[in-house]
A and B are shown apart, each in its own frame.
Chain A
Amino acid sequence: MKQHKTINCKEVMSHICDNLGEDLDSPRCVAIKSHLDECESCQTYFKSVDNTIQFYKKYNVKLSDEAHTRLIDYLGLNDE
């Protein structure tokens, strides 16, 4: 059971982006998980990937009342 010893950070990093959650019990996934549990560098990497997603999730814009009115006018949906 030396398999996971052969996995390096780069392989771990390229794999997890590919969607954790698939065939989690495969030997490769198990090896990756155990590497990840112990490797601070990989943990930081994935935290930054996750933060990347969060940044774009939290950066939102609100439609102004004026833009709403322009839309309704444009569509010809205003009353009367």
Chain B
Amino acid sequence: MNELELIEKAQLGDKKALSELVKNYEQTVYNFSFKICRDKDKAEHTMQETFMSMVKNIKQFSGKSKLSTWLYTVVSNHCLMLARSSRKHDYAASLDDDDVLIDEKSVADWSVTPDKVTENNELKIILDEAIQKLPADYRIVFLLRDVEGLSTEETGKIVELSIPAVKSRLHRARAFLRNELNQKLKYETA
């Protein structure tokens, strides 16, 4: 059964079809939620709320956009809402300052390569901490576009930003994260 057929059945109240849809997307939604929250409990909670919203609103789903896009939107909005209610960090200052953002003097090779991520817990902490310094809207754009591989257009739709605005946030998020990681991972030349 393809996705549209599953959705149609689910819209008629077929629980099996709904479970099937949940199963098809739970890993993606959980992983994406984790990448935003950097916390497994929060990620699970976000995933639960996201699918609850899907179950409640599946009748309104028109099929014009992809179900995955719709789910990404719910996760992103949930996260933005949480971020707005806590609003604790204010690292955003350097994001608007090209002089700080592009640090052309500190260029070095790094001591770890990306394939080491799965086995290196210290590295995971560095990655978690760096991305948590980014304001939520920058983080989401970076994750959707660069990590999940969505198009600029799709990303713009999800976060309700114009294409130039998406590009600008992406550019700044990349440079910011690169600087953060560079401080931790570059080879120290004594």
A10, A53, A70: the one contacting B44 at CB < 8 Å is A70
B15–A57 touching, CB < 8 Å? no
B185 to chain A, nearest CB (A): 8
A48–B127 touching, CB < 8 Å? no
A41, A44, A53, A71: the one contacting B22 at CB < 8 Å is A71
Q: Chain B interface secondary structure, helix, strand, loop or mixed?
A: helix
A71 to chain B, nearest CB (A): 6
A14–B44 touching, CB < 8 Å? no
Chain B residue contacts of A44, Cβ below 8 A: 107-109
**Category for how many chain B residues contact A:** 35 or more
B44 to chain A, nearest CB (A): 5
Q: Chain A interface secondary structure, helix, strand, loop or mixed?
A: helix
Chain A residue contacts of B115, Cβ below 8 A: 58
B34 to chain A, nearest CB (A): 5
- Judge whether A1 is part of the interface by a CB distance below 8 angstroms: no
Interface centre among A49, A57, A63, A68 (most CB of B within 10 A): A63
Given contacts A58-B118, A63-B27, A67-B44, 4 further A-B contacts (CB under 8 A): A44-B107, A53-B147, A57-B114, A59-B117
> Can you pick out 7 interface pairs between chain A and chain B where the beta carbons lie within 8 Å of each other?
A10-B102, A18-B167, A56-B177, A58-B118, A59-B35, A74-B48, A74-B52
